[in-house]
A = this chain, B = another copy of it.
Amino acid sequence: MRAGPSQEEVRRQNLGALLRYVHVHGATTRTELTSTLGLNRSTIGALTADLAAAGLVREGAPRETGRAGRPSLVVRPESDRVYAYALSIGVDQLRAARVGLGGRLLDQRGMTRPRGLGIVETVPLLAAFVKEMHESVPLDSVYVGGGVAVAGMVRREDGMVRLSPNTGWSDEPVADVLSAQLGWDRPFAVGNVADLSALAEHVRGVAVDSDNLIYVYGDVGIGAGIIAGGRPLSGHGGYGGEVGHMAVNPAGQRCGCGSRGCWESEIGEHALLRAAGRERLSGPDAVLTVVDAAARGDAMAQAAVRQVGDWLGFGVANLVNIFNPDTVIFGGTLRHVYIASAAQVRSRLNAMALAACREHVRLRTPKLGDDAALLGAAELAFEQLLSDPLDAAP
């Protein structure tokens, strides 16, 4: 029950709205800003001047439009100057990027992460990437913050990684360790990889026109990033979206979490490899091998893909009934599994989801691919700047 804002708060809100608009949409004419934000030309002019003075946007002539008349000036985010560091700790990959305002990847590093590598060994590798990229940052650049995507449960309050069963971590203060390694004051914000992938696809990916989306991310583990009514669903502590531990099969396998028949046990990497008779293998390449073998007609691989696809559809139908989303996105290695088993998924959805809940739902693969987690981590890092540009600008 907040009261309306003061004059100064309104100005800050307007600055944030304008900066966020060009951050999301890129170069935008003053005319479009005027109509989209519902402010008059002189207000847009004043706001743009303030943001330009702070080095966050610049104005310039548009590209040639071919139309007659004086063209409207174009406002662009300072993507080459204003940047964040975005890191991602996946089960199999470590990645780091320097991301410019507007979501431009300016620089990046990455390596395969050997499964089982602890936080003590992981964080220095990421810190080294950051230091390396930092050396070639142009002199007049402005660092606004950092974000980390982690394949684990992240406490919203302080970014503590509570549990990351598939990296083997529990109660790890990743952001603190990272800041200590770098010797930087400004803390890194931490989020879950599925949550941040959902955010990125919502801001600049396949779900920009969607306000109710579920991004199901899968590799060894399964988790979802959920956006409901246009806002990320985080839950009380920040742990919402643990759909991998929705029990779907009371007669199913024991799950690593201690329960039985979790969705993760039926559709995760192990389930596919086991069904395909390749339980000794692991990792995304092994999953791809099964999907490829199925495409080439290998009967056992086909049966495995069908079985996992059937359970994939089973769980998606549940989520469609619970959330009534307009978009479901399949990311991580689930992307490949979904493409190979779309018929099973659709069939389960039709049989199990209520007509009203599924009538507008679109099943999609990510537009941003594996960059989604990094771009989402960058959004986390930019958030403070976008909420209050002049206060947060260093």
Contacts and interface: CB of A to CB of B under 8 A. Distances in A.
Interface string A23-63: 01000000000001111000000000000000000000000
Interface stretch (A83-91, A119-127, A143-151, A355-363): A355-363
A11 B4 contact: yes
Interface string A353-376: 111110111000000000000000
Interface residues of A, number: 70
A138 interface: no
B21 A1 contact: yes
Given A231-B229, A242-B354, A354-B239, A318 B4 contact: no
A310 to B, nearest CB: 10
A297 interface: no
A8 B37 CA distance: 17
Contact of A322 (B13, B242, B352): B242
Pick the most buried of A153, A155, A323: most chain B CB atoms within 10 A of its CB: A323
A155 B324 CA distance: 11
Interface stretch (A180-188, A249-257, A272-280): A249-257
A241 B318 CA distance: 11
A239 B324 contact: yes
A207 to B, nearest CB: 12
Given A233-B323, A240-B324, A9 B17 contact: no
B20 A1 contact: yes
A344 interface: no
A216 to B, nearest CB: 12
Given A3-B17, A240-B322, A235 B247 contact: no
Nearest to A162: B356
A14 interface: yes
B240 A234 contact: no
Nearest to A36: B1
A10 interface: yes
Contact of A239 (B24, B234, B247, B356): B356
A212 interface: yes
A237 interface: yes
Pick the most buried of A2, A39, A243, A251: most chain B CB atoms within 10 A of its CB: A2
A105 interface: no
B10 A354 contact: no
Contacts of A322: 240-243, 246, 319, 322
Contact of A245 (B162, B237, B323, B354): B354
Contacts of A18: 3
A238 interface: yes
B247 A352 contact: yes
A70 interface: no
Given A237-B356, A239-B357, A323-B235, A1 B13 contact: no
B4 A24 contact: no
A363 to B, nearest CB: 14
A78 interface: no
Nearest to A212: B236
A36 B2 CA distance: 8
Given A3-B39, A163-B356, A242-B324, 7 more contacts: A1-B21, A233-B323, A239-B354, A240-B324, A242-B321, A245-B352, A259-B351
6 contacts: A2-B37, A2-B38, A3-B39, A237-B360, A243-B321, A251-B251
Interface of A: 1-5, 9-14, 17-18, 20-21, 24, 36-39, 153, 155, 162-163, 211-212, 228-229, 231, 233-243, 245-251, 257-259, 314, 317-319, 321-326, 351-357, 359-361
Q: What are the 6 tightest A-B residue pairs by CB atom distance, in nearest-first order?
A: A235-B324, A4-B13, A4-B10, A3-B37, A236-B326, A239-B324
